[in-house]
Amino acid sequence: MAVPTSRASEKAQVHIDASLCDGCGKCIDVCKDFGLELVDERMPSAIPSQEAMTTQKAKIKETTFVGCFACGHCMAVCPRMAISINGKTLSPNDLFRLPTIRNKANYEQLLTLLQRRRSIREFIDRKVEPEIIEKILDAATTAPMGVPPSDVNVLVFDGKEKNRKFAEDFCTLLKSKRWLVSAWFLALMRPFWGKTNDELFRKFIRPLVDVYISAMDKGVNVINYDAP
């Protein structure tokens, strides 16, 4: 299924500085659009009596697979920094140096991080500092993307009051859409979306909607638990 995204509405623009390219071919190896190739290029000799030399340079193909989707790999692996990409919200300014191998997490550290991961429903009554929010957002920007790259938007509710207002508005929306989990609608849709989706809506989504709405009517927020 295609993922609607504004980033897919145009191709990114790739520029290769021939004066920097040494023809190593690393960019060709990583381009999954198959849009780059090595071509022979005659370079004039600095000595007039000598013939021109032939060297290989990376070039952009006239015909590509789908067009550059700005994954950035060719730009990242080029040892001479000869490639730049602009478009689909990507630019050379987005590159950063990889941490040294000495600073990498080992297997035990990574496993510990994953094992300690939990869904939090109880919160300390303390506002989250802006510096911590910025650190979380910086880390989130390193998450891998699919193809085509999807639009990602982050909305930060900085405070319990805003979180509560969001939960209340969400419940108001659920009430207006409650017919989507009604018995007659689910019976109507079952022949179209099958047994698995029917059970999902009947046994999970409809009870969840009922819990969200009934709890909020009693003043209890079980959507985001008034997180700070």
**CA 120 to mean position of chain CA atoms:** 23
**Inside any domain, residue 2:** no
Q: Quote the domain boundaries for residue 199.
A: 155-228
Mean pLDDT of the chain: 87
- Which percentage of the chain shows pLDDT scores above 70? 89
Per-residue pLDDT at 4: 47
- Which percentage of the chain shows pLDDT scores above 90? 56
Query: Which of 94, 120, 146 delimits the end of a domain?
Result: 94
Tokens encoding 76 = 């990242």
**Going by C-beta distance under 8 Å and a sequence separation of 6 or more, which residues neighbour residue 57?**
16, 18, 21, 23, 38, 39, 41
Per-residue pLDDT at 47: 64
86 and 16 share one domain: yes
Domain count, the chain: 2
pLDDT digits over 14-38, tens only? 999 999 999 999 999 999 889 999 9
- Any idea what the CATH number is for the domain that residue 42 is in? 3.30.70.20
**Inside any domain, residue 216:** yes
| Residue given tokens 């013939």 in the structure block | 51
CA distance 41 to 215: 71
Going by their DSSP bridges, the two strands 13-16 and 83-86 should be labelled as: antiparallel
State pTM to two decimals. 0.65
Tokens encoding 183 = 């018995």
Query: Which of 72, 94, 116 delimits the end of a domain?
Result: 94
| One-character DSSP codes across 186-211 | HHHHHHHHHHHHHHHIIIIIHHHHHH
Q: Does residue 7 have a pLDDT over 80? A: no
Per-residue pLDDT at 44: 66
Q: What's phi and psi for 160, nearest 5 deg? A: -65, -35
Name the most confidently modeled range: 55-69, 133-147, 156-170: 156-170
| Residue given tokens 């179209």 in the structure block | 192
CA distance 5 to 7: 5
**Inside any domain, residue 119:** no
14 and 86 share one domain: yes
pLDDT digits over 54-112, tens only? 789 999 998 887 788 888 889 999 999 999 999 877 888 888 887 888 888 999 999 99
**Inside any domain, residue 28:** yes
